[in-house]
Amino acid sequence: MAAPSAESVSAAVAQLYNTYPFPPEPLLDEPPPGYNWRWHWTAAYGFCTGRAPATGAVRVLDAGCGTGVGTEYIAHLNPQAEITGIDLSDRALETARERCRRSGAKNAQFQTLSIYEVGQLPGSFDWINCVGVLHHMADPQAGLQALAEKLAPGGLIHIFVYAALGRWEISLMQQAIALLQGDRRGDYTDGVQVGREIFTHLPPDNRLRRREETRWSMENQRDANFADMYVHPQEIDYTVETLFELIDSAGLEFLGFSNPRYWDLSRLVGTAPDLMARAATLPERQRYRLVELLDPEITHYEFFLAKPPLARVDWSDSDRLLAAQVQRHPCMQGWPSRSVFDYDYQMVDLSEAEFQALTLADGDGDLPTVAAVMAATGLDEAAMRSLQQRQLVVLRDPG
């Protein structure tokens, strides 16, 4: 049986999201609360390169923006940016436009367009956000290659795709619903009804039911979430190995996972020095594969890519470090306080000297140098590097 064409898959995906616009987050009459550092240009650029960007006036593409939840955050977190959101679903885009209008996000525009057709957009983009989209395409490699062609040299792209190991039960339920729907497959309201009935009648100790109840049921109370998870017409799930095949196909540079704590092997076998030493001899990709094999709960991969050349700084040169300007990281909750949530919403207790350093660096105007902060607070070079490595500050290279 021939695989469905890209056009037929795109049409089916558009129909799903015209039936259930996604994400189904409520519209607000004010900017959305909190932050996602992956959607803040200075924070994302600092994570990827070790230094602050030269400007915040960048062109951003939100590829597969849906109802504009991420687009709205990007717009408010980056007021100097020019943002374009594209999606297949006209109904989702109607919501996206209204969402941004109501919250006052005036720097975003939207267009009905497939990622395959992104070449129709004028110019190139400094930053592309593509979250939860490529795995729903008939040809994800062609989709990523199309995005890569629109990325400016030195530009960044943030991607989110599904992982096979942690979605095993979801995949089984998708197949079960499709079998029971038969000729009615593509009727997404019927698919939701069938899926909910299955979960209701499965035995309480059934593995699929237990996974739904313990992991997904809260968000799946909304039919749009349930449909997106269980009755989607197209889904490709990845392993680390197939993920890097996808990345390599686009000729882009892998910069790192944007949830690096998960990929830290020491959280799994850090108490076994021999195992850690053995793992250290493995190539990077094999170490990532080892992590997902030992902890198969992962349901998705989120990561940054770049179109070369992209210069990065490690601040090992003391003269360069001392001359750098210091800015408090823009994604921080609870500031000003000695106890704050950092960029990744992890609690951090600052020393008095660290608090003073962040206070001196709190602004966008004339920022102090590392040397000036050290002189005022008593922190040494190692402490300043630690602040940067923990992403409590962003350093700006004067050169």
The C-alpha atoms of residue 234 and residue 133 are separated, in whole angstroms, by 10
Q: What is the percent of the chain where pLDDT is above 90?
A: 97
Domain spans of the chain, in order of start:
6-164+237-262+298-306, 166-230, 318-396
- The tokens of 356 are what? 């003073």
With vertex at residue 250, the alpha carbon angle to CA 247 and CA 255, rounded to the nearest 5 degrees, is 50
The C-alpha atoms of residue 83 and residue 73 are separated, in whole angstroms, by 11
pLDDT score recorded for residue 365: 77
Contact between 22 and 92 under an 8 Å Cβ cutoff? The reply is: yes
Q: What's the DSSP call for residue 262?
A: T
Would you tell me how many other CB atoms lie within 10 Å of the CB of residue 1?
A: 3
Q: What is the pLDDT of residues 364-390, one digit of tens each?
A: 778 999 999 999 999 999 999 999 999
Judge whether residue 14 has pLDDT over 70. yes
| Pairing of the two strands 325-328 and 393-396 | antiparallel
Buried b (16+ CB within 10 A) or exposed e, 108-138: bebeebbbbebeebeeebbbbbbbbbbbbbb
Contact between 339 and 333 under an 8 Å Cβ cutoff? The reply is: no
Superfamily of domain 6-164+237-262+298-306: Vaccinia Virus protein VP39 (3.40.50.150)
Token pair 């890569």 in the structure block, residue: 148
Q: What is the pLDDT of residues 267-322, one digit of tens each?
A: 999 999 999 999 999 999 999 999 999 999 999 999 999 999 999 998 999 999 99
The residue among 151, 145, 202 whose CA lies nearest residue 173 is: 202
